[in-house]
Structure 1
């Protein structure tokens, strides 16, 4: 199946060269290894390959033996680094509405990042997911994304704001890192999702009005950009599959209804892009399974729930069929 290249604003690598040199790396050499150069980072709005950025962060962390490389990049971020979206978010009457705007426009910043807001009683959960088409690690990219999200909320709500928890699906780092310094004591690893849990009252609290009209113009610009965006149907359907998998009801009918079409239209669109719903579902499950088994310490039952299987045995049977070995043996090889 032919895949379209997902892009991200080059602003995502703001500060990369300085950090790379600080940890003993040659930034020009590291950029060249993933097909980028310093020229690609001059214009913060220039689109660059999100896969290249992900590979750069992972390889830099490994080469420098710095487990929190992506998070260190996020530490210098401000809301303004999000470009025109920051104008819309800054003038929102509540943090909740600001984050809803972020969810709406995030693909204009990073086409591989999926951000969702969910309500659970007095808590608001903000999920972050990196959409990729391979089984490689996304640890550094996820930590950078969650770190940028954390800094954005803190800027909206002020320095006294604290989350209920900051969660990562991957296992904890082996050595000392800046996680506790950056997020405080509420950091959880091997969690059920990547993201931040906030108090609902914080998200709903009114923010002071700015009286600026910049948000109106920024929103018009962003809406026009969304209209012009040429996302493939495969990419859009992958996003819905990722969102629906954990509830165990990710069927072609449900995905089609979520997208506002019937099942026949869904299949026709995928056929046009030389794939099918079943193969796309299998690919997403394989990618998520490989990443979770390698990067986290989840049990078989937890993996089954995350990937939408009815039982541990059903997941184990599927995994052996797809990977040719058991979960435990595959984990050992990684």
Structure 2
């Protein structure tokens, strides 16, 4: 009797080990990782933000925008790191210098890390030179050769980051958002994300200088889904919504002016999008359309809204890393 029980236990144990090994094998083949490859990718997108300031008394929107239509991003991925640099080159359509709308400049740097089921992002961004899209609503007698109100010295500097956690361990956000992996079956996941940033707006109004400092903290909930259309194609919808708080400090300094105003507001944000991707072991490409919105009311009951629709096209190539880079990365 003892002999039979022992063999029964061994048989059950071996079956469990076999099933676990099959499950591990399935998981490892369901997501193809390209972490050992160096990935170079180019993005072209229209993700340049507009700012809408609405006065509840007369419901007039002040629409501020940059005089650039398209952004070019260069990305380099290797191991758990992703580096990016974005700018608005003149050779892209809509980025040519325009005397009517003034000169604008844009640049940002980003780094992303992927430890386990976490995604950590850090970003620095700088914009300068805005114009009022709906200038006719505020000045009806503008000359034909200068039909827009310009804020050439208005500058926005942004330091931000986010920490996200993928609740479903069998879902690859690196497949959808970063193309560092390829998921071969349908799967989705909720992804809570903590956002934190410091933004500074500054402008020279000739008689005085104004500076606004914003500290933003928010928590949002994202949902991503990977739908495999074919062996090398996927379709990926996503949506998110969140709440947060903004701590604002505005100062005005001039010869006869020295004012400061501090306020705290609750913010709302939401958005979503749809992405189509194509992937091979060496080549990748895709397109995405997205919408995002951030809004709040300030102490004077003025609504501030920052929203945009934007499109993105990406193309990339994977290759073996240089030996020097590989030796450095292997040490860590």
TM bucket, shorter chain: under 0.3
Which structure dedicates a bigger proportion of its chain to helix? 1
TM-score between both structures, scaled by the size of structure 2: 0.24
- Report the TM-score when normalising by structure 1: 0.24
Structure with max Cα Rg: 2
More strand by percentage: 2
